[in-house]
Structure 1
Amino acid sequence: MEKCSREKLVDKIVKEYNLTEEDAHNKAVKILERCPEKLRQNVQEWSENRTLTDIYIGKYSLPMILAIWGSRDFLSAWEVMTELEEGEIETAEMRIWNMRR
């Protein structure tokens, strides 16, 4: 993501999670460093308030996880999707279905 997009991500994190600008910046840097290439589009869409595309890793997508949870917690869903991409399938699936409760 270019600098402009990083700034949009920081702004979105501040708005959605009520973090300070500095904490949001640190979070955004970590997200961009760890983000699987497949999920960069979803991060961009979220930071720009666009509809999230269903990008599947295994049998899950970010919009699907958010729907399962009945939540708008994008960053937690992104972490779960990143775990799936890194091969931590059992851990990720436990988080998906435990968050539902």
Structure 2
Amino acid sequence: MPGRNHSRDFKLEVVGQINAGLSTTAQLCREHSLAPSLIHRWRKEVEARGEAAFTDPAATDRSAELRIAELERYCGQLSLENTILKKSLATYRLNKGIK
């Protein structure tokens, strides 16, 4: 049946049954009306990506972008604090006559 969409959990369950030896690819193909090539593709995806299989890479990229932005803000804050501390130390040394 072309055009069907299967949930991530379903795909992982099918691959898990094959990997655990509970069912064969042929049995699952008959039970769920799936093509063997589709199950093979799912197995390769799980082998390649592990737990991240069947997740949207764009969502992962967005999460990484947010984390990078957060770290850049933090780096900027630390840089500003460092500059203020350096100026304060220079002023203190001038007032105390320390070189």
TM range (shorter): under 0.3
TM-score by structure 1 length? Answer: 0.24
Rg larger for: 2
Higher helix share: 2
